[in-house]
Chain A
């Protein structure tokens, strides 16, 4: 079964500190992994996807198939990074549905 686990509901860090939002997944095939972000009073939107191997707003995420993880990292957190972050998985079967984790709320303190 498809499953996405984000163990931390809340993460609080100081500005300038490194941040890592954890995501583990369960899928029997080759999924696509994503990170979505929802800033206050804005729509949920895509932050980055693993196939792009890109850095967006200083965030990166590496897919580790051995550990079935897709942790989101940023070396120096900024106050504007405060938001709700969701890890998501899209399978290549079953209608290509997208499953989301429970989300992690990130607070970056001044």
Chain B
């Protein structure tokens, strides 16, 4: 069966520090991969999605970037965190054929 792992679960980082959140999927190949941010009162905002290795689409201008170095690995990064980057980040995948999205447990990021 397919599983999705996202880590860390919580993270407290100082302003200006770098960020790396990792997400991996098991049990499937060539998935669509997504990074979302869930903010109180603002719902679920799509940040990045990827349909293949090295193929990244950005949905909103921001201080973050994403990379897909391997088929089932999706990384969310920042060179210098801002206070406004605080939030709950969710990784998700869907197959190219089936359309349901499966979500990771999420990462609570607090920038201080």
Asked if B46 and A100 sit within 8 Å, CB to CB, the answer is: yes
Q: Shortest beta-carbon distance, B44 to chain A, in Å?
A: 4
For the complex, what is the distance from the CA of A1 to the CA of B42, rounded to whole Å? 19
For the complex, what is the distance from the CA of A36 to the CA of B36, rounded to whole Å? 14
How many residue pairs, one in A and one in B, have C-beta atoms under 8 Å apart?
61
* Interface band, chain A: 20 to 34
Q: Shortest beta-carbon distance, A2 to chain B, in Å?
A: 10
| Mask of A33-45 contacts with B, CB within 8 angstroms, 1/0 | 0101000000111
The residues of A that contact B99 with a CB separation of less than 8 Å are 32, 34, 49, 90, 96, 98
For the complex, what is the distance from the CA of A49 to the CA of B98, rounded to whole Å? 11
B104 within 8 Å of A by Cβ? yes
* Interface band, chain B: 20 to 34
Asked if A97 and B103 sit within 8 Å, CB to CB, the answer is: no
B residues near A (Cβ < 8 Å) are 32, 34, 36, 41-46, 49, 51, 57, 59, 90, 92, 94, 96, 99-101, 103-106
A residues near B (Cβ < 8 Å) are 6, 9, 32, 34, 36, 43-46, 49, 86, 88, 90, 95-103
A100-B49 contact, Cβ under 8 Å, with A49-B99, A86-B43: no
